[in-house]
A = this chain, B = another copy of it.
Protein backbone atom coordinates (compact mmCIF):
# COMPACT_ATOMS: atom_id res chain seq x y z
CA UNK A 1 0.00 0.00 0.00
CA UNK A 2 0.98 3.64 -0.39
CA UNK A 3 1.39 5.53 2.84
CA UNK A 4 0.34 9.12 3.36
CA UNK A 5 2.81 11.27 5.23
CA UNK A 6 0.25 12.21 7.86
CA UNK A 7 -0.23 8.55 8.65
CA UNK A 8 3.53 8.08 8.91
CA UNK A 9 3.78 11.12 11.15
CA UNK A 10 1.23 9.59 13.41
CA UNK A 11 2.93 6.25 13.55
CA UNK A 12 6.65 6.66 13.74
CA UNK A 13 8.34 9.39 15.72
CA UNK A 14 11.82 8.14 14.85
CA UNK A 15 11.08 8.51 11.14
CA UNK A 16 8.45 11.20 11.29
CA UNK A 17 9.71 13.18 8.31
CA UNK A 18 9.02 10.79 5.49
CA UNK A 19 10.70 10.87 2.12
CA UNK A 20 13.45 13.11 3.47
CA UNK A 21 15.76 12.17 0.64
CA UNK A 22 14.91 11.89 -3.02
CA UNK A 23 17.51 10.94 -5.63
CA UNK A 24 20.17 13.67 -5.33
CA UNK A 25 23.79 14.23 -6.27
CA UNK A 26 24.96 14.76 -2.70
CA UNK A 27 24.65 12.47 0.30
CA UNK A 28 21.61 13.51 2.33
CA UNK A 29 22.10 14.80 5.84
CA UNK A 30 19.20 15.41 8.19
CA UNK A 31 19.73 19.13 7.53
CA UNK A 32 17.22 22.01 7.32
CA UNK A 33 17.26 21.33 3.56
CA UNK A 34 16.13 17.77 3.91
CA UNK A 35 13.59 18.73 6.53
CA UNK A 36 12.13 21.19 4.03
CA UNK A 37 11.93 18.47 1.39
CA UNK A 38 10.37 16.18 3.94
CA UNK A 39 7.20 18.26 3.69
CA UNK A 40 6.87 17.05 0.11
CA UNK A 41 5.05 13.75 -0.30
CA UNK A 42 7.20 11.21 -2.12
CA UNK A 43 5.77 7.86 -3.18
CA UNK A 44 7.41 5.07 -1.17
CA UNK A 45 7.46 1.33 -1.90
CA UNK A 46 4.91 -0.80 -0.09
CA UNK A 47 7.43 -2.16 2.42
CA UNK A 48 8.60 1.31 3.53
CA UNK A 49 5.64 1.80 5.85
CA UNK A 50 6.34 -1.51 7.58
CA UNK A 51 9.97 -0.53 8.10
CA UNK A 52 9.03 2.91 9.39
CA UNK A 53 6.52 1.40 11.78
CA UNK A 54 8.95 -1.17 13.18
CA UNK A 55 11.86 1.27 13.58
CA UNK A 56 9.46 3.67 15.28
CA UNK A 57 8.44 0.98 17.74
CA UNK A 58 12.10 0.13 18.34
CA UNK A 59 12.84 3.72 19.31
CA UNK A 60 11.41 2.82 22.71
CA UNK A 61 12.05 -0.29 24.74
CA UNK A 62 15.21 -1.43 22.97
CA UNK A 63 17.29 -3.83 25.09
CA UNK A 64 20.51 -3.51 23.13
CA UNK A 65 22.57 -2.31 26.12
CA UNK A 66 21.26 -5.15 28.28
CA UNK A 67 22.55 -7.65 25.71
CA UNK A 68 26.05 -6.13 25.95
CA UNK A 69 25.81 -6.38 29.73
CA UNK A 70 24.63 -9.99 29.48
CA UNK A 71 27.47 -11.08 27.21
CA UNK A 72 30.25 -9.22 29.03
CA UNK A 73 29.10 -10.40 32.46
CA UNK A 74 28.57 -14.00 31.30
CA UNK A 75 31.75 -14.46 29.26
CA UNK A 76 34.07 -11.54 30.01
CA UNK A 77 37.21 -11.68 27.86
CA UNK A 78 36.69 -14.35 25.21
CA UNK A 79 39.67 -14.69 22.94
CA UNK A 80 39.32 -17.72 20.67
CA UNK A 81 40.31 -20.83 22.58
CA UNK A 82 40.30 -19.11 25.99
CA UNK A 83 38.10 -19.99 28.97
CA UNK A 84 35.65 -17.24 27.99
CA UNK A 85 35.12 -18.56 24.45
CA UNK A 86 32.78 -21.49 25.31
CA UNK A 87 31.03 -19.29 27.89
CA UNK A 88 30.28 -16.81 25.12
CA UNK A 89 28.99 -19.55 22.83
CA UNK A 90 26.74 -20.83 25.62
CA UNK A 91 25.45 -17.32 26.35
CA UNK A 92 24.82 -16.56 22.66
CA UNK A 93 22.90 -19.79 22.10
CA UNK A 94 20.76 -19.35 25.21
CA UNK A 95 20.15 -15.65 24.50
CA UNK A 96 19.01 -16.33 20.94
CA UNK A 97 16.61 -18.99 22.14
CA UNK A 98 15.29 -16.64 24.82
CA UNK A 99 14.79 -13.90 22.21
CA UNK A 100 12.71 -16.27 20.08
CA UNK A 101 15.06 -16.93 17.18
CA UNK A 102 14.43 -20.11 15.16
CA UNK A 103 16.98 -22.75 14.15
CA UNK A 104 19.35 -21.63 16.90
CA UNK A 105 22.58 -23.62 16.76
CA UNK A 106 26.29 -23.42 17.43
CA UNK A 107 28.18 -24.55 14.31
CA UNK A 108 31.59 -25.92 15.37
CA UNK A 109 34.71 -23.97 14.39
CA UNK A 110 38.24 -25.14 15.04
CA UNK A 111 40.42 -22.22 16.17
CA UNK A 112 44.08 -21.73 16.93
CA UNK A 113 44.51 -20.39 20.47
CA UNK A 114 47.11 -17.79 21.40
CA UNK A 115 47.98 -17.31 25.07
CA UNK A 116 49.36 -14.06 26.51
CA UNK A 117 50.81 -15.50 29.70
CA UNK A 118 52.59 -13.19 32.13
CA UNK A 119 54.26 -10.14 30.66
CA UNK A 120 56.40 -7.29 31.89
CA UNK A 121 57.97 -4.42 29.97
CA UNK A 122 60.34 -2.29 32.03
CA UNK A 123 62.55 0.69 31.43
CA UNK A 124 66.07 -0.06 32.74
CA UNK A 125 67.47 3.37 31.81
CA UNK A 126 67.20 6.34 32.11
CA UNK A 127 64.39 5.93 34.69
CA UNK A 128 63.76 2.39 35.97
CA UNK A 129 60.05 1.64 35.99
CA UNK A 130 57.37 -0.51 34.43
CA UNK A 131 55.57 0.49 31.24
CA UNK A 132 51.94 -0.10 30.32
CA UNK A 133 52.44 -2.59 27.51
CA UNK A 134 50.85 -5.66 25.93
CA UNK A 135 52.16 -8.34 23.59
CA UNK A 136 50.59 -8.27 20.13
CA UNK A 137 48.35 -11.19 19.26
CA UNK A 138 50.34 -13.94 17.56
CA UNK A 139 53.68 -12.76 18.95
CA UNK A 140 56.15 -15.28 20.24
CA UNK A 141 57.36 -14.88 23.80
CA UNK A 142 60.77 -13.78 24.99
CA UNK A 143 63.38 -16.32 26.13
CA UNK A 144 63.06 -17.39 29.79
CA UNK A 145 64.17 -14.43 31.92
CA UNK A 146 63.31 -12.04 29.11
CA UNK A 147 65.63 -9.92 27.02
CA UNK A 148 67.27 -6.52 27.41
CA UNK A 149 68.07 -4.08 24.66
CA UNK A 150 68.64 -0.48 23.70
CA UNK A 151 65.83 1.29 21.86
CA UNK A 152 66.14 2.64 18.33
CA UNK A 153 63.16 4.70 17.16
CA UNK A 154 61.47 5.17 13.80
CA UNK A 155 58.18 6.96 13.16
CA UNK A 156 56.76 4.96 10.23
CA UNK A 157 57.00 1.63 8.42
CA UNK A 158 58.76 3.42 5.57
CA UNK A 159 61.41 4.69 7.99
CA UNK A 160 61.69 1.18 9.45
CA UNK A 161 62.29 -0.29 6.00
CA UNK A 162 64.96 2.37 5.43
CA UNK A 163 66.64 1.79 8.82
CA UNK A 164 70.25 0.74 8.58
CA UNK A 165 70.88 -2.79 9.89
CA UNK A 166 73.83 -1.36 11.86
CA UNK A 167 71.33 0.64 13.94
CA UNK A 168 68.81 -2.17 14.28
CA UNK A 169 71.11 -5.12 14.95
CA UNK A 170 70.89 -6.36 18.54
CA UNK A 171 68.51 -3.57 19.48
CA UNK A 172 64.80 -3.23 20.24
CA UNK A 173 63.10 -1.25 17.48
CA UNK A 174 60.42 1.26 18.57
CA UNK A 175 57.95 2.13 15.80
CA UNK A 176 56.39 5.38 17.01
CA UNK A 177 53.63 6.25 14.53
CA UNK A 178 50.52 8.07 15.81
CA UNK A 179 46.98 7.15 14.82
CA UNK A 180 44.70 10.00 13.72
CA UNK A 181 41.25 10.41 15.30
CA UNK A 182 38.41 10.51 12.77
CA UNK A 183 34.68 9.82 12.66
CA UNK A 184 35.16 7.28 9.89
CA UNK A 185 38.14 5.71 11.68
CA UNK A 186 40.41 6.01 8.63
CA UNK A 187 43.38 6.47 10.95
CA UNK A 188 43.18 2.78 11.76
CA UNK A 189 43.77 1.69 8.20
CA UNK A 190 46.74 4.05 8.01
CA UNK A 191 48.35 2.76 11.20
CA UNK A 192 47.41 -0.90 11.58
CA UNK A 193 50.10 -2.08 9.13
CA UNK A 194 52.62 -0.96 11.78
CA UNK A 195 51.07 -3.51 14.14
CA UNK A 196 50.94 -6.28 11.59
CA UNK A 197 54.29 -5.93 9.82
CA UNK A 198 56.85 -4.24 12.08
CA UNK A 199 58.13 -7.44 13.72
CA UNK A 200 59.18 -9.20 10.53
CA UNK A 201 60.71 -6.07 8.99
CA UNK A 202 62.68 -5.33 12.17
CA UNK A 203 63.73 -8.97 12.48
CA UNK A 204 65.09 -8.84 8.96
CA UNK A 205 67.33 -5.96 10.08
CA UNK A 206 68.68 -7.95 13.02
CA UNK A 207 66.50 -6.43 15.79
CA UNK A 208 65.89 -8.62 18.86
CA UNK A 209 62.36 -7.33 19.53
CA UNK A 210 59.93 -4.65 18.42
CA UNK A 211 57.62 -2.34 20.36
CA UNK A 212 55.07 -0.09 18.70
CA UNK A 213 53.08 2.95 19.84
CA UNK A 214 49.59 1.65 20.52
CA UNK A 215 47.28 1.74 17.50
CA UNK A 216 44.66 3.84 19.27
CA UNK A 217 43.52 7.44 19.66
CA UNK A 218 43.63 7.82 23.46
CA UNK A 219 46.51 9.41 25.37
CA UNK A 220 46.19 7.16 28.43
CA UNK A 221 48.13 4.21 29.83
CA UNK A 222 45.95 1.53 28.30
CA UNK A 223 47.99 -0.49 25.79
CA UNK A 224 46.18 -1.60 22.62
CA UNK A 225 46.81 -5.20 21.58
CA UNK A 226 45.73 -6.71 18.23
CA UNK A 227 46.86 -9.25 15.69
CA UNK A 228 50.30 -9.29 14.09
CA UNK A 229 51.67 -11.77 11.56
CA UNK A 230 55.16 -13.04 10.85
CA UNK A 231 56.13 -13.02 7.19
CA UNK A 232 56.70 -16.52 5.81
CA UNK A 233 60.29 -17.58 6.29
CA UNK A 234 61.27 -14.39 8.14
CA UNK A 235 62.99 -14.68 11.53
CA UNK A 236 60.54 -14.23 14.41
CA UNK A 237 61.05 -11.73 17.26
CA UNK A 238 58.67 -10.73 20.10
CA UNK A 239 56.35 -7.78 19.47
CA UNK A 240 54.45 -5.62 21.96
CA UNK A 241 52.53 -2.33 22.04
CA UNK A 242 53.18 0.35 24.66
CA UNK A 243 50.47 2.79 25.74
CA UNK A 244 50.36 6.16 23.98
CA UNK A 245 51.27 7.94 27.23
CA UNK A 246 54.36 5.74 27.57
CA UNK A 247 55.26 6.17 23.89
CA UNK A 248 55.27 9.95 24.47
CA UNK A 249 57.84 9.59 27.26
CA UNK A 250 60.05 7.21 25.28
CA UNK A 251 59.88 9.59 22.33
CA UNK A 252 60.86 12.62 24.41
CA UNK A 253 63.79 10.77 25.95
CA UNK A 254 65.09 9.62 22.57
CA UNK A 255 64.63 13.05 20.98
CA UNK A 256 66.73 14.47 23.82
CA UNK A 257 69.45 11.98 22.98
CA UNK A 258 69.02 9.79 26.07
CA UNK A 259 70.02 6.15 25.84
CA UNK A 260 66.91 4.12 26.58
CA UNK A 261 67.20 0.48 27.62
CA UNK A 262 64.24 -1.84 28.08
CA UNK A 263 63.67 -5.24 29.64
CA UNK A 264 60.99 -7.32 27.92
CA UNK A 265 59.45 -10.42 29.42
CA UNK A 266 56.59 -11.77 27.32
CA UNK A 267 55.01 -15.11 28.20
CA UNK A 268 53.12 -15.23 24.90
CA UNK A 269 52.82 -18.66 23.30
CA UNK A 270 50.71 -20.74 20.96
CA UNK A 271 47.83 -22.47 22.72
CA UNK A 272 47.20 -25.19 20.15
CA UNK A 273 43.90 -26.06 18.54
CA UNK A 274 40.61 -25.48 20.34
CA UNK A 275 36.93 -25.85 19.58
CA UNK A 276 34.74 -22.78 19.24
CA UNK A 277 31.54 -22.12 17.28
CA UNK A 278 29.58 -19.69 15.15
CA UNK A 279 26.32 -19.03 16.99
CA UNK A 280 23.43 -18.76 14.55
CA UNK A 281 19.74 -17.94 14.85
CA UNK A 282 17.08 -17.07 12.29
CA UNK A 283 13.84 -15.20 11.75
CA UNK A 284 12.33 -17.41 9.03
CA UNK A 285 11.04 -15.70 5.90
CA UNK A 286 7.77 -16.45 4.13
CA UNK A 287 7.65 -16.76 0.33
CA UNK A 288 11.41 -16.16 -0.12
CA UNK A 289 12.56 -18.09 2.96
CA UNK A 290 15.43 -19.71 1.06
CA UNK A 291 17.02 -16.28 0.48
CA UNK A 292 19.18 -15.13 3.36
CA UNK A 293 19.65 -11.62 4.75
CA UNK A 294 22.79 -12.06 6.85
CA UNK A 295 23.42 -9.95 9.98
CA UNK A 296 26.91 -10.56 11.31
CA UNK A 297 29.03 -9.57 14.31
CA UNK A 298 31.83 -11.37 16.15
CA UNK A 299 31.42 -13.16 19.44
CA UNK A 300 35.10 -13.32 20.38
CA UNK A 301 37.13 -10.48 21.86
CA UNK A 302 40.70 -9.69 22.80
CA UNK A 303 41.87 -10.89 26.18
CA UNK A 304 42.65 -7.63 28.00
CA UNK A 305 39.16 -6.14 28.26
CA UNK A 306 35.67 -7.60 28.24
CA UNK A 307 34.85 -6.92 24.60
CA UNK A 308 31.99 -4.53 25.35
CA UNK A 309 32.44 -2.26 22.33
CA UNK A 310 34.48 -4.79 20.30
CA UNK A 311 32.29 -6.57 19.57
CA UNK A 312 29.71 -6.99 22.30
CA UNK A 313 28.06 -3.90 20.87
CA UNK A 314 27.88 -5.45 17.40
CA UNK A 315 26.51 -8.74 18.73
CA UNK A 316 23.85 -6.81 20.65
CA UNK A 317 22.97 -4.68 17.60
CA UNK A 318 22.35 -7.63 15.28
CA UNK A 319 20.58 -9.74 17.93
CA UNK A 320 18.29 -6.88 18.97
CA UNK A 321 17.57 -5.98 15.33
CA UNK A 322 16.61 -9.61 14.76
CA UNK A 323 14.37 -9.60 17.82
CA UNK A 324 12.44 -6.57 16.51
CA UNK A 325 12.03 -8.17 13.08
CA UNK A 326 10.56 -11.20 14.79
CA UNK A 327 8.05 -8.91 16.50
CA UNK A 328 7.05 -7.14 13.28
CA UNK A 329 3.39 -7.44 12.30
CA UNK A 330 4.47 -8.00 8.69
CA UNK A 331 6.73 -11.07 8.62
CA UNK A 332 9.96 -10.88 6.59
CA UNK A 333 9.73 -12.52 3.16
CA UNK A 334 13.41 -13.44 3.17
CA UNK A 335 15.00 -15.24 6.12
CA UNK A 336 16.96 -12.97 8.43
CA UNK A 337 19.94 -14.91 9.77
CA UNK A 338 21.97 -13.53 12.68
CA UNK A 339 25.48 -14.96 12.93
CA UNK A 340 27.82 -14.36 15.88
CA UNK A 341 31.16 -15.31 14.32
CA UNK A 342 33.95 -17.08 16.18
CA UNK A 343 37.57 -15.95 16.17
CA UNK A 344 37.37 -12.69 14.20
CA UNK A 345 40.18 -11.06 16.16
CA UNK A 346 42.83 -13.66 15.76
CA UNK A 347 42.30 -15.81 12.70
CA UNK A 348 38.87 -15.41 11.04
CA UNK A 349 38.30 -19.17 11.32
CA UNK A 350 34.61 -18.53 12.01
CA UNK A 351 34.11 -16.48 8.86
CA UNK A 352 35.84 -19.13 6.74
CA UNK A 353 33.86 -21.95 8.34
CA UNK A 354 30.58 -20.14 7.67
CA UNK A 355 31.43 -19.54 4.02
CA UNK A 356 32.54 -23.17 3.58
CA UNK A 357 29.25 -24.44 5.01
CA UNK A 358 26.83 -21.90 3.53
CA UNK A 359 28.26 -20.41 0.33
CA UNK A 360 25.80 -22.32 -1.83
CA UNK A 361 22.76 -20.85 -0.10
CA UNK A 362 21.45 -17.71 -1.81
CA UNK A 363 22.46 -14.67 0.27
CA UNK A 364 20.49 -11.59 -0.76
CA UNK A 365 22.47 -9.17 1.39
CA UNK A 366 25.01 -9.04 4.21
CA UNK A 367 25.35 -6.41 6.96
CA UNK A 368 28.12 -6.50 9.58
CA UNK A 369 28.24 -4.64 12.91
CA UNK A 370 31.82 -4.38 14.18
CA UNK A 371 32.45 -0.72 14.98
CA UNK A 372 31.35 -0.33 18.57
CA UNK A 373 28.55 1.69 20.08
CA UNK A 374 28.72 4.81 17.88
CA UNK A 375 25.67 6.34 16.19
CA UNK A 376 24.99 5.36 12.59
CA UNK A 377 25.88 8.29 10.34
CA UNK A 378 26.23 6.86 6.82
CA UNK A 379 24.75 4.29 4.50
CA UNK A 380 26.96 2.76 1.82
CA UNK A 381 25.26 0.70 -0.85
CA UNK A 382 26.57 -1.25 -3.86
CA UNK A 383 26.72 0.04 -7.42
CA UNK A 384 27.04 3.74 -6.58
CA UNK A 385 30.81 4.15 -6.91
CA UNK A 386 30.63 3.27 -10.60
CA UNK A 387 27.62 5.49 -11.28
CA UNK A 388 28.65 9.06 -10.46
CA UNK A 389 25.75 10.56 -12.44
CA UNK A 390 23.13 11.60 -9.82
CA UNK A 391 20.30 10.92 -12.24
CA UNK A 392 21.56 7.37 -12.56
CA UNK A 393 21.64 6.57 -8.84
CA UNK A 394 20.06 3.20 -8.44
CA UNK A 395 16.36 3.26 -7.69
CA UNK A 396 17.16 0.02 -5.87
CA UNK A 397 18.57 1.87 -2.82
CA UNK A 398 16.83 5.22 -2.94
CA UNK A 399 13.81 4.23 -0.80
CA UNK A 400 16.17 2.86 1.88
CA UNK A 401 18.18 6.11 1.91
CA UNK A 402 14.91 8.01 2.36
CA UNK A 403 14.09 5.90 5.41
CA UNK A 404 17.47 6.57 7.05
CA UNK A 405 17.88 10.28 6.24
CA UNK A 406 15.56 11.48 9.05
CA UNK A 407 17.74 9.54 11.50
CA UNK A 408 20.72 11.62 10.41
CA UNK A 409 22.17 8.83 8.29
CA UNK A 410 23.58 10.13 5.00
CA UNK A 411 23.80 8.16 1.76
CA UNK A 412 27.49 7.95 0.89
CA UNK A 413 28.59 7.27 -2.69
CA UNK A 414 31.38 4.94 -1.50
CA UNK A 415 31.60 1.23 -2.15
CA UNK A 416 30.57 -0.78 0.95
CA UNK A 417 33.21 -3.04 2.51
CA UNK A 418 31.06 -5.42 4.52
CA UNK A 419 33.67 -6.20 7.15
CA UNK A 420 36.09 -8.97 8.03
CA UNK A 421 33.54 -11.65 8.88
CA UNK A 422 31.57 -11.11 5.66
CA UNK A 423 34.77 -11.15 3.57
CA UNK A 424 34.69 -14.80 2.51
CA UNK A 425 31.02 -14.55 1.48
CA UNK A 426 31.37 -11.12 -0.15
CA UNK A 427 34.48 -11.97 -2.15
CA UNK A 428 34.02 -12.66 -5.88
CA UNK A 429 34.05 -16.24 -7.15
CA UNK A 430 35.80 -18.59 -7.10
CA UNK A 431 37.07 -17.57 -3.60
CA UNK A 432 33.79 -16.09 -2.40
CA UNK A 433 30.06 -16.20 -2.99
CA UNK A 434 29.80 -12.58 -4.24
CA UNK A 435 27.23 -11.79 -1.55
CA UNK A 436 26.15 -8.12 -1.86
CA UNK A 437 26.79 -6.04 1.27
CA UNK A 438 25.55 -2.76 2.67
CA UNK A 439 27.49 -0.76 5.27
CA UNK A 440 25.68 0.96 8.12
CA UNK A 441 28.62 3.20 9.06
CA UNK A 442 28.92 4.09 12.76
CA UNK A 443 30.67 7.06 14.35
CA UNK A 444 34.15 5.83 15.28
CA UNK A 445 35.39 9.04 16.89
CA UNK A 446 35.75 7.43 20.35
CA UNK A 447 35.94 3.79 19.27
CA UNK A 448 39.73 3.64 19.01
CA UNK A 449 40.19 5.06 22.51
CA UNK A 450 38.96 1.70 23.82
CA UNK A 451 39.61 -0.72 20.96
CA UNK A 452 41.64 -3.80 22.07
CA UNK A 453 42.40 -2.32 25.52
CA UNK A 454 41.71 -3.49 29.07
CA UNK A 455 39.21 -0.63 29.22
CA UNK A 456 36.85 -2.12 26.63
CA UNK A 457 34.17 -2.64 29.28
CA UNK A 458 30.46 -1.99 29.81
CA UNK A 459 30.98 1.30 31.66
CA UNK A 460 32.23 2.82 28.39
CA UNK A 461 29.14 1.87 26.35
CA UNK A 462 26.68 4.66 25.46
CA UNK A 463 23.13 3.35 25.48
CA UNK A 464 21.59 6.03 23.24
CA UNK A 465 24.12 5.83 20.40
CA UNK A 466 24.12 2.04 20.59
CA UNK A 467 20.33 1.96 20.19
CA UNK A 468 20.55 4.43 17.30
CA UNK A 469 22.95 2.15 15.45
CA UNK A 470 20.67 -0.81 16.17
CA UNK A 471 17.66 1.00 14.65
CA UNK A 472 19.63 1.84 11.50
CA UNK A 473 20.70 -1.80 11.10
CA UNK A 474 17.11 -2.85 11.82
CA UNK A 475 15.82 -0.57 9.05
CA UNK A 476 18.27 -1.91 6.48
CA UNK A 477 17.83 -5.56 7.45
CA UNK A 478 14.04 -5.48 7.62
CA UNK A 479 13.85 -3.57 4.34
CA UNK A 480 16.11 -6.15 2.71
CA UNK A 481 13.90 -8.93 4.02
CA UNK A 482 10.77 -7.33 2.48
CA UNK A 483 12.06 -5.67 -0.68
CA UNK A 484 12.24 -8.38 -3.27
CA UNK A 485 12.09 -6.08 -6.31
Contacts and interface: CB of A to CB of B under 8 A. Distances in A.
A402 B377 CA distance: 51
A267 to B, nearest CB: 12
Contacts of A128: 76, 83-84
Contact of A127 (B76, B253, B455): B76
B73 A305 contact: no
Contacts of A76: 123, 127-129, 249
A455 B245 contact: yes
B77 A129 contact: yes
Given A73-B252, A249-B73, A253-B73, A459 B219 contact: yes
A361 interface: no
A57 interface: no
Q: For this complex, into which size category does the number of interface residues on chain A fall? A: 20 to 34
B459 A244 contact: yes
Contacts of A72: 249
A162 to B, nearest CB: 28
A459 B129 contact: no
A77 B132 CA distance: 13
Contacts of A129: 76-77, 83-84, 303, 306
Contact of A459 (B248, B306, B455, B460): B248
Interface in A116-160: 123, 127-129, 132
Identify which of A76, A77, A87, A129 gathers the most chain B CB atoms within 10 Å of its CB.
Answer: A129
Contacts of A219: 459-460
A75 interface: yes
A455 B221 contact: yes
A458 interface: yes
A40 interface: no
Nearest to A256: B73
A220 interface: yes
A74 interface: yes
Contacts of A434: none
Contacts of A127: 73-76, 83-84, 87
Contacts of A69: 252
Nearest to A305: B221
Contacts of A87: 127
A182 interface: no
A420 interface: no
Nearest to A249: B73
A317 B249 CA distance: 22
Given A132-B454, A220-B455, 13 more contacts: A73-B249, A74-B127, A77-B129, A83-B128, A84-B128, A84-B129, A87-B127, A129-B303, A219-B459, A221-B305, A221-B454, A221-B455, A249-B457
27 contacts: A69-B252, A73-B127, A73-B249, A73-B252, A75-B127, A76-B123, A76-B127, A76-B128, A76-B129, A76-B249, A83-B127, A83-B128, A84-B127, A84-B128, A84-B129, A129-B303, A129-B306, A220-B459, A221-B222, A221-B454, A221-B457, A244-B459, A245-B455, A245-B457, A245-B458, A249-B306, A249-B457
